[in-house]
Amino acid sequence: MTKKPIILFLEDDPTLGQGLKGSLSAEGMIVKWVQTISDAKKRLEEGMPDLAILDVALPDGDGIEFCKELHAEFGKRLPILMLTDKKDEKFAVNALSRGAVDYIRKPCGPFETLLKVRKSLSIEKELVLGSLLINFSGREILVGGKKLNLRRREFDIFCVLARSLGDVVTRQGLLDQMRDSEESEDRTLDSHMSRIRSALRKVGAKEIILSSVYGVGYKLEARSDLKKAG
């Protein structure tokens, strides 16, 4: 089983929200549906998602401005789709210039939506952070040219942490990647973290630091020779 994509879905219409969440969840995605920008920011504290889908008109702000804010923080590491009922070209130009990779017009059919979601998720094929290279499609991690030997779940967890380099990812945000019946407890997560640290030591990756933040979660950090991609 590959890593489950995490989708931050911001839509204040309950009918559309429930419907789209259901169709994407049925495709094996973890959908964090929220109805306000404020709640979206709280969800982001759990860690960076793989994709954001944002409505334009929201109760507490402008979705396009929020798109601009997210793009400024995460860059190309976070693909953004805009959801709108506007049909004019001006909107499309505005959305794309603020950092969106594409947009979906309402009413949105499930097949078109799924197609655009999958296309947007495939944009990021690899992530380079200094001496660290993550090949997502090949499921391979290299540190200074040396392969980091991780199990399936550990690879998924490491990718979540790497996308949020320098930021704390909550335990819940990581447990979202472990929603199999046999893997659901905090003790299992701690075991994965221990093995990731061991793998980093084996390849001599002293520049990469995986630390625990007591009562909150974990953080992947790097020395000054590694910088966030974006």
160-177 pLDDT per residue, tens: 888 777 888 888 878 776
Same domain, 101 and 150: no
Instruction: Look at residue 89 in the predicted model and tell me its pLDDT.
Output: 62
Same domain, 13 and 94: yes
| End position of a domain, from candidates 72, 95, 121 | 121
- 203 by Cβ neighbours in 10 Å (0-12 / 13-18 / 19+) ranks as middle
Residue 132 in this model has a pLDDT that exceeds 60? yes
Instruction: Look at residue 144 in the predicted model and tell me its pLDDT.
Output: 85
Instruction: Look at residue 76 in the predicted model and tell me its pLDDT.
Output: 80
Cα–Cα distance for residue pair 213/192, rounded to 1 Å: 16
pLDDT bracket for residue 230 (50, 70, 90): very low
88: CB partners within 8 A, 6+ apart: none
Kind of pairing between the strands at 30-34 and 6-10: parallel
Please tell me the total count of domains within the chain.
2
Same domain, 24 and 115: yes
pLDDT bracket for residue 182 (50, 70, 90): very low
Same domain, 105 and 40: yes
The structure's pTM equals 0.61
CATH at residue 203: 1.10.10.10
Q: Residue 228 falls within a domain, yes or no?
A: no
Q: How far is CA 164 from the centre of its chain?
A: 8
Q: For 210, phi and psi rounded to 5 degrees?
A: -105, 115
Same domain, 56 and 136: no
Which residue range(s) make up the domain with 94? 6-121
* Lowest mean pLDDT across 17-31, 59-73, 80-94: 80-94
